[in-house]
């Protein structure tokens, strides 16, 4: 009855079932997976969002790739010294998920493949399957930092491969791609005529101020590339549903891609007019929200680092940017058992590494956005409980 684009089993997993049961019993959970910036006590400047609804709400200006003023605003936002992005290369979407959908329609026939990082964003599985595309993983390996395993990327390239997906900084590993990694992936794409899709939604959040990694928009690569971003992460306004993709690469390939995207976008005309009219102001005034989120992430990361230091068998994996952190614990029990135990005993919710397809256990993934007092208390309970359960030395 239903298509094979959907998973055969639509029932919630055991962790989802436990959360629903505890909440129905009135339990208050400390949610260390909270990554909705509107729910963590970070206020947008007064009037920033309210002003959007007030902008000519009766105006409807259908333009497939987006209103020129909004495309100019995004182009200015992603431009840097030495990297002027032409507004004609900007395509507006309702978010990054829609941008992926458009790009898979543009680049892939049903059954074609795209290479996706592992561990990474769990939504890739659905975003690809819903477009009839197969995700083939390549590995990121954690040594002194998370590195792209170029051999596994090369091994993944096959007859039906159409694109390589990069996430920089990656969710949840927090790793930016280096210049050398980007160059190597670009060369591989050029050699096999693959497109490069770089999800840079978390790029404005380097852990060390000023230490953001390179963008796929930097430099001149002989490959059709797309850089993805959006208001939801750039200025912490997911409720406004505005994202973008920026095309880069050789002119003829970019022009053909934009013509294809124009047809795809025209079929949906999904981006609301008011948010496009407000885009310039939202991106300019939203910088205040970006700064507050960055400060929150740094504060919580430092707190987590201090807590982990008290638990010698736990290890905080290196973070370079983004909104997440990964704690490695000894794999004496399954991640699922650890997470369920934390929920039942401590009322603390964290994600198991397997949600993100880590190649081995045991990892716990936390968001660095929650309010500091909740984050500190929840993370302390997570580590204490994990220490008790895993027979770790608590160091106290």
Ligand X SMILES: Cc1ncc(COP(=O)(O)O)c(C=O)c1O
Contact 168, 228 (CB under 8 A): no
DSSP H or E run through 136 = strand 134-142
> Would you say 170 or 328 has its CB closer to ligand X?
170
> Would you say 212 or 383 has its CB closer to ligand X?
212
> Would you say 35 or 128 has its CB closer to ligand X?
35
Smallest distance from the beta carbon of 34 to ligand X, in angstroms?
12
Smallest distance from the beta carbon of 24 to ligand X, in angstroms?
26
Smallest distance from the beta carbon of 199 to ligand X, in angstroms?
5
> Would you say 99 or 348 has its CB closer to ligand X?
99
How far CA 326 is from CA of 37, 88, 166, 364, 366, in Å, comes to 19, 39, 19, 6, 6
Strand duo 243-248 + 90-93: pairing: antiparallel
Biggest distance spanned by C-alpha atoms of the chain: 64
DSSP H or E run through 245 = strand 243-248
Smallest distance from the beta carbon of 99 to ligand X, in angstroms?
8
Three-class secondary structure of residue 211 per DSSP: coil
Shortest-Cβ-distance residue relative to ligand X: 95
How far CA 157 is from CA of 121, 136, 216, 319, in Å, comes to 20, 9, 20, 28
Smallest distance from the beta carbon of 250 to ligand X, in angstroms?
26
> Would you say 171 or 273 has its CB closer to ligand X?
171
> 329 forms bridges with which residues in the sheet?
none
**Cα–Cα distance measured from residue 383 to residue 50, given in angstroms and rounded to the nearest whole number:** 40
> Would you say 123 or 208 has its CB closer to ligand X?
123
DSSP collapsed to 3 states, 325-366? EEEECCCCCCHHHHHHHHHHHHCEECEEHHHHCCCCCCEEEE
> 115 forms bridges with which residues in the sheet?
136, 164
Smallest distance from the beta carbon of 102 to ligand X, in angstroms?
12
> Contact positions toward ligand X, by CB under 6 A?
35, 95-97, 121, 167, 171, 199, 201, 230, 232, 238, 243
> Would you say 200 or 346 has its CB closer to ligand X?
200
Smallest distance from the beta carbon of 2 to ligand X, in angstroms?
24
């Amino acid at each position: 009855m239903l298509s094979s684009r959907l998973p055969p089993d639509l029932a919630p997993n055991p962790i989802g079932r436990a959360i629903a049961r505890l909440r129905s019993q009135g339990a208050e959970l400390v949610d260390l997976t909270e990554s909705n910036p509107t729910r963590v006590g970070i206020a947008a400047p007064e009037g920033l969002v309210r002003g959007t609804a007030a902008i000519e709400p009766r105006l409807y200006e259908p333009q497939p790739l987006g209103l020129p003023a909004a495309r100019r605003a995004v182009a200015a936002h992603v431009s840097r010294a030495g990297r002027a992005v032409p507004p004609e290369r900007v395509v507006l979407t309702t978010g990054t998920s829609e941008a992926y959908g458009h790009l898979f329609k543009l680049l892939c026939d049903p059954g074609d493949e795209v290479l996706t990082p592992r561990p990474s964003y769990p939504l890739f599985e659905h975003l690809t399957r819903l477009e009839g595309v197969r995700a083939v993983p390549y590995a990121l390996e954690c040594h002194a930092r998370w590195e792209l395993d170029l051999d596994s990327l090369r091994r993944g390239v096959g007859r039906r491969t159409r694109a390589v997906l990069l996430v920089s900084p990656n969710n949840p590993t927090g790793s930016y791609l280096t210049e050398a990694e980007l160059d190597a992936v670009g060369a591989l794409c050029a050699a096999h005529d693959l497109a490069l899709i770089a999800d840079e939604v978390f790029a404005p959040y380097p852990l060390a101020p000023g230490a953001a990694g390179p963008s796929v928009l930097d430099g001149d690569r002989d490959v059709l590339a797309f850089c993805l971003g959006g208001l939801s992460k750039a200025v912490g306004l997911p409720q406004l549903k505005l994202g973008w993709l920026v095309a880069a690469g050789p002119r003829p390939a970019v022009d053909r891609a934009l013509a294809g995207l124009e047809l795809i976008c025209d079929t949906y005309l999904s981006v609301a007019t008011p948010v496009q009219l407000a885009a310039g102001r939202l991106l300019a005034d939203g910088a205040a929200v970006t700064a507050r989120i960055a400060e929150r992430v740094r504060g919580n990361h430092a707190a987590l680092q201090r807590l982990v230091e008290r638990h010698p068998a736990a290890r905080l994996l290196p973070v370079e940017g983004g909104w997440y952190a990964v704690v490695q614990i000894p794999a004496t029990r399954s991640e699922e058992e650890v997470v369920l135990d934390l929920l039942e005993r401590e009322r603390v919710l964290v994600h198991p590494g397997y949600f993100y397809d880590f190649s081995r256990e045991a990892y716990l993934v936390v968001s660095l956005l929650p309010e500091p007092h909740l984050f500190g208390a929840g993370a302390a309970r997570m580590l204490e409980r994990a220490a008790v359960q895993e027979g770790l030395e608590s160091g106290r």
